[in-house]
Amino acid sequence: MTEHPDALTTLLSRYSTAELSGPEPTDSELRHMLEAAVRAPDHGKLRPWRFLVVRGGARLELAQLYAEAALRREPGAAPDKIEKERAKPMRSPLTIGVVAKVTENHKIPVVEQVLSGGAAAMNILNAAWAMGFAAKWVTGANAYDPMFLQALGVSAPDQLLGFLQIGRPAGTVPAPERPDPGQFTTEWHR
Ligand SMILES: Cc1cc2nc3c(=O)[nH]c(=O)nc-3n(C[C@H](O)[C@H](O)[C@H](O)COP(=O)(O)O)c2cc1C
């Protein structure tokens, strides 16, 4: 059996980082992330995922959507609150929106399709980490705001599973403590 010790090092060291800077991933690095994504387990070969790549000037357009959505949800919001929202997509040079492309009334339950999307997202985070990038998976109110989603081009029954913000760590973030997996694990016997 082939062993992949480097892969295990990646899995056992990854953590999230919010403040990210350039240089942004190259096209080839981005391609590796997406190739990892489509290795997600996929019951029924539905390919139940879509990836929205936002980089370069498109970040400003996403930032504008964030600001508009925040103002729509809270018309009386203070300007600095809206600007805080606008700044969020600018925190990383690359954002990948992960969408679960849902087929309803299919023998593969919707939850399995959504889980496949989650697995694709996780594979992107791990591939990014393996290539020396840091990342953070975020949702926030936008992910559940139908008008924001419409502007993004996502409509029901599809679901935006989140935005993966990806870049180089802007500072040094200490690795967070992890719980002992034994706390969540039992040896099951009938
Ligand atoms: C579906 C999903 C949505 C998330 N949304 C947010 C978010 O909107 N804001 C946030 O600060 N963290 C969010 N998180 C948590 C971070 O991605 C991250 O897991 C957390 O900061 C802990 O860091 P760690 O990955 O190093 O354990 C989300 C995680 C998941 C799985």
Every domain of the chain and the residues it spans: 17-55+91-171
Please name the residues in contact with 63: beta carbons below 8 A apart, sequence gap of 6 or more: 86, 87, 88, 89, 90
Task: Return the ligand 1 atom nearest residue 139 CA.
Answer: 8
Residue 1 pLDDT more than 80? no
Residue 170 pLDDT more than 90? no
- Choose among 137, 178, 184, 183: nearest CA to 161: 137
Pocket of ligand 1 (CB under 6 A): 15-16, 136-140, 162, 176
Residues 18-24 have a mean pLDDT of 93
If 0-12 CB within 10 Å is exposed, 13-18 middle and 19+ buried, where does residue 152 land? buried
**pTM of this structure:** 0.97
Could you report the per-residue pLDDT of 111-120, keeping only the tens digit for each?
A: 999 999 999 9
Could you report the per-residue pLDDT of 42-96, keeping only the tens digit for each?
A: 999 999 999 999 999 999 999 999 999 999 999 999 999 999 999 999 999 999 9
Cα–Cα dist 186/24, whole Å: 42
What pLDDT does 190 receive?
96
19 CA distance to ligand 1 middle (Å): 13
CA atoms within 13 A on the CB side of 54: 24
What pLDDT does 129 receive?
97
Task: Return the ligand 1 atom nearest residue 175 CA.
Answer: 26
Task: Return the ligand 1 atom nearest residue 161 CA.
Answer: 1
Residues 113-132 have a mean pLDDT of 98
Classify domain 17-55+91-171 by CATH number: 3.40.109.10
